[in-house]
Structure 1
Amino acid sequence: MTLVFIAFVIFLLFGMPMAFAIGISGALFFLQHPNLPATILVQLPVTQTQNFALLAVPLFIFAGNLLNSGGTTQRLAKFAGLLTGHMRGGFAQTSVVLSTLMGGVSGSAIADAAMEARLLGDDMKKAGYSKGFIANNIAFTGLITATIPPGNALIIFGTTSNVSIGKLFAGGLIVGGFMMMVMMLATWGISRMRNYQPARSTRASAKEIVVSLKECIWALIFPIMLLVGIRMGLFTPSEVGAFACIYALLVGAFIYKELNVKTFFEALENTVKDVGAVMFIIALSAIFGYGVPIEKVPQVVSQFMVGISTNPNIILLLLVLILTLVGMFMEGAATILILTPVFMPLILQMGIDPVHFGLIVCTVVTMGNCTPPVGLSMFTVNSIIGCSLNEYTKEMIPWLVTFLLSMIVLVFLPGPFLFLQNLLF
């Protein structure tokens, strides 16, 4: 597997697309072991895509696109603006809250960042915010979206590690709320130092908030319905994905009445693109991961980590550091698929709650979208608002430090984050 990992890194450095880097480097393992049947190379990707639990990924992506096309995003943005417009850096605070609300709709940090850059970017620039601040605010608050159900990373981790997706959803709801408070505090602090003004001069009235809440209530109860459905045994994660699609279709077509034939096919087209990219990586990761148990990579990693420390919290901090560095060069889904089988035996050996570990993994690897050199959210937002990589990187430090400090809290104080999943399950 040493040759496989080296080849994988080299392919990434040369700019090879992630899916091909995973598949081609994984195939090298079979060249090293000519006694293995070549047919396995074909069977592994096909078998990986036949995993029933993974059916939830394309279904939730489709549901999110249907809700976006059905007018949900605009209503959530209006509601978030009413809640936060009177605060320091009002438009930036709106971005934080909107990312939290969008967590129950899109489940994708990149999609959320792109949407908010188009929706709020111009208003932020007119308000005098620097482009670096705008880009980092939108990119980093997109992390919240990925942790709130139905986050795609949570589904992929749960499937890969055989951990309850329902429990991950419950924990993700708490982590998302915590990340919202942390990012709002960071936004307030930076805005205060730079004298960024509120977006509106007065607080929204209770009547305005209630009226706006009624308009977007169907989106807000969406993640709660998912959790209740799974907990009561009404749905498996895959079945609740199908329910989500029907729910999104009904809300967009009959309640908001903005989902028509044209917008439906636009949502379908976007879903095909999104699903194709994600599932291609998932399929080829089976080739890459085939040799991991054969070469006993988990055992080697466990021995090395235990040799450094036997304290579970120190082990988790080391894993946060490793995942942060890896996430700078690898796409989140690929990181989860490749490294979860390597680290899970160590996590179980140390007596760490797999749900706790999963929440850390899904949050940290998503942060890789916000950092150079290959952060997809970073490049997406920069291109939309016209921010240079140099300007983005200069203003990234306080956001990155804030995120890492929040991960330290998550590592050392798991109780509050696991409270809901312990209560429900």
Structure 2
Amino acid sequence: MTYAFGGFLLLIFSGLPVVFALGVAALLAIVTMTDVPLSIVAQRVYGGVNSFPLMAIPFFVTAGIIMAEGGIARRFVDLAAALVGWITGSLYMVAIVTGTGLAAISGSGSADTAAVGSILTPEMRRRGYDIDLSAAVIAASGALAPIIPPSIIMVVIAITSNLSIGAMFLGGIVPGLMIAAGLAFTCWLFARRGGAVYRDSEPFSLARLGRAFLAAIPGLTLPLIIVGGIVGGVFTATEAAAMAVLVTIVISVYVYREIGFRDLPALFLKAISLSAAVLIIVSTASVFSWIIATLGAPQMLDAWFRSVTESPVIFLLIVNLFLLIIGMFMESISAILIILPVLMPIAIGYGIDPVQFGVMTALNLSIGLVTPPYGICLFVAAMVSNRKVEQVVSRVWIPLIPMTIVLILTAYVPWIVLTLPRFFFP
């Protein structure tokens, strides 16, 4: 097992892409520490992606890309502006509400960050907003995608841990909304002390809200179709994702008419590229997960935890700190596939509900999306804002406060996560 983990860390820090680091480290461990034939590598690579639920990932990615290009994202921004644009720090509020709404469609944090940032950043700069805080808030809003359903990360967690995807989706709703509310309150406190630049001169208008709502209705049907269909037993997660692609095409082409069928091949190619990058990591991570399980990593780690503490409270504290560090350095899906098969049985042994533990894991890794050095949402927001990451990092602690508070509550107040899953899946 030392060869596997040591080789993986060495390769990662040497700059090798994570997909190759996983594969080479697993191959090294198989050759040096087992007698199994190398053909097992091909079998595990194929087995890692030979899963019907995993097909939801490319469909959700495709839906998110079409949403961003087809006018759905812009109408979400308009609706958010009409709903909260009159509050002090209005554009921060619009970014948070829009990020929350887009998270209920795409499941991709980086895509949502790019969509919100490209629309709102020019106006934030024009009004004289703190652009570094703006980028940090947009990144945090994009990082809601792994928590609020449909979430690609939740799909992977459910498949890896043999959990209900619907239960995982429902478990993320309350924590995700709590983070959105916390972000809004934190930004309001900052903006209230920032002077007149953060005060919108346009008052709240029911007429404006009504017009924006009517324009956004076609896009608002997507979360109802996806989550409602899964929870109601109409679709599996994969079928709901495929339906989301169909509906986004119909809305973008026939209702909003911002793209045509001739634009779809380029969007599909982009989705294929992004999906392939995710699924190849899944395939090589499955080899790595198999070899560390074969070498007894779960049993050794369980014995270590038991020697340290018998308290679930201390166990959760250690795991949260560990996952926060992992999220800073590793891509989320890779982290899940490597770490969760080891930690989930230990958590269950401590009496922790697996859905709660899965949502807590997703929360940790969503925080990793806005923390350097990995922080993909942070990098996207900085790039869209035309700022250096080092400049945006100086403000990222502000949105991290509510995210961390909700993480702590999720870990130690189980009903926050479990109320909805237990109501719909008793």
TM over 0.5: yes
Distance 2:300 2:111 in 1: 37
Whether the 8 Å CA contact 2:132–2:391 is kept in 1: the answer is: yes
Query: Superposition pairs for residues 126-145 of structure 1, below 5 Å?
Result: 126-145=126-145
Q: Which residue of 2 aligns with 1:420?
A: 420
Equivalence for 1:343? 343
Range 386-395 or range 146-155, more displaced: 386-395
> What residue is the counterpart of 1:68 in the other structure?
68
Kindly report which structure 2 residues correspond to 1:318-337, keeping only aligned pairs within 5 A, or say none: 318-337=318-337
Alignment partner, residue 28 of structure 1: 28
Alpha-carbon distance in 2 for matches of 1:383, 1:306: 45
Evaluate the alpha carbon distance shift between residue 389 and residue 261 of structure 1 in structure 2; reply closer, same or farther with a 3 A threshold.
Answer: same
- 2:265 matched residue in structure 1: 265
Which amino acid letter does the alignment assign opposite residue 392 of structure 2? Answer: Y
SS at match of 1:299: helix
The answer to whether the aligner puts 1:278 opposite 2:252 as a matched pair is no
User: Residue type of the partner of 2:11?
Assistant: F
- The question of whether the paired residues in 2 share the 8 Å contact of 1:86 and 1:198 is answered with no
Q: What is the CA distance between 1:196 and its match in structure 2?
A: 6.3
1:369·1:377 contact (CA, 8 Å) conserved in 2? yes
Contact 1:89 1:196 in 2 (8 A): no
The 1:220–1:37 alpha-carbon spacing in structure 2 relative to 1, beyond 3 Å, is: same
Q: Which residue of 2 aligns with 1:50?
A: 50
Residue 122 of structure 2 aligns with an amino acid whose one-letter code is: D
> How far does the alpha carbon of each residue in 1:202-231 deviate from its partner, in whole angstroms, 9 at most, with x for none?
333112112211221232232232233223
Which moves more between the two structures, 176-185 or 6-15?
Answer: 6-15
User: C-alpha root-mean-square deviation of aligned residues, in Å?
Assistant: 1.7
- The one-letter code of the counterpart of 2:131 is K
Judge which range, 318-327 or 265-274, deviates more: 265-274
**8 Å CA contact 1:103, 1:148 repeated in 2:** yes
> d(CA) in 2 for partners of 1:423 and 1:282?
32
Q: Could you list the structure 1 runs, at least 4 aligned residues long, displaced by more than 4 angstroms after superposition.
A: none
Distance 1:315-1:195 versus aligned 2 partners, 3 A rule = farther
**Superposition deviation, residue 141 in structure 1:** 1.7
After TM superposition, give the deviation of residue 326 of structure 1 in Å: 0.5
| Pairing 1:195–2:189 present | no
Q: What is the CA–CA distance in structure 1 between the aligned matches of 2:270 and 2:37, rounded to whole Å? A: 38
Asked if 1 retains the 8 angstrom alpha-carbon contact of 2:143 and 2:366, the reply is yes
Deviation for aligned residue 1:85: 1.4
Listed one character per residue, the Cα deviations across residues 68-99 of structure 1 (whole Å, up to 9, x for unaligned) are: 33210110011111112112221111111110
Tell me the matched-pair count: 425
Partner of residue 118, structure 2: 118
Relative to 1, partners in 2 of residues 1:201 and 1:306: Cα closer, same or farther, differing over 3 Å? farther
Contact 2:218 2:251 (C-alpha < 8 Å) held by counterparts: yes
5+ long unaligned stretches in structure 2: none
SS of the residue corresponding to residue 29 of structure 1 reads helix
- Matching residue's letter, 1:3: Y
In structure 1, the partner of 2:38 is 38
The match for 2:253 is: 253
Q: Which runs of 5+ in 1 are unaligned?
A: none
Contact 2:64/2:105 (<8 A) preserved:
yes
Residues 48 and 122 (structure 1), Cα distance of their counterparts in 2 relative to 1, 3 Å cut: same
CA contact (8 A) 2:281 2:334 kept: yes
The match for 2:220 is 220
Normalised by the size of structure 1, how large is the TM-score? 0.95
Q: CA deviation at 1:63?
A: 1.9
- What does the per-residue CA deviation read over 1:374-410, in whole Å, with 9 as the maximum and x for residues that have no partner? 2212222222212223322222223323321221111
- Corresponding residue for residue 410 of structure 2: 410
* 1:129/1:196 contact within 8 Å kept: no
Match of 1:352 in 2: 352
Question: Are 1:88 and 1:197, in contact at CA under 8 Å, matched by a contact in 2?
Answer: no
Written as runs of structure 1 = structure 2, the 5 A alignment for 1:94-113 is 94-113=94-113
Confirm or deny: 8 A CA contact 1:155 1:165 kept in the other structure: yes
Cα 1:198/1:392, change in 2 over 3 Å: closer
Residues 1:363 and 2:363 are matched in the alignment: yes
Give 2:168's aligned residue: 168
Give 1:34 deviation, angstroms: 5.3
SS in 2 for 1:290: helix
Does the CA contact (< 8 Å) of 2:225 and 2:240 recur in 1? no
Alpha-carbon offset, residue 110 of structure 1:
1.0
Residues 12 and 329 in structure 1, CA contact (< 8 A), matched pair in contact too? no
Q: Is the 8 A contact 2:64 2:108 kept in 1?
A: no
Give the C-alpha shift of residue 333 in structure 1: 0.8
One-letter amino acid of the structure 2 residue matched with residue 179 of structure 1: I
**Counterpart-to-counterpart distance in 2, 1:138 and 1:193:** 20
Say whether residues 1:16 and 2:13 are aligned partners.
Answer: no
Distance 1:118 1:257 in 2: 20
State the percentage of identical aligned residues.
27
What corresponds to 1:388 in structure 2?
388
TM-score normalised by L of structure 2: 0.95
2:395 is the alignment partner of 1:398: no
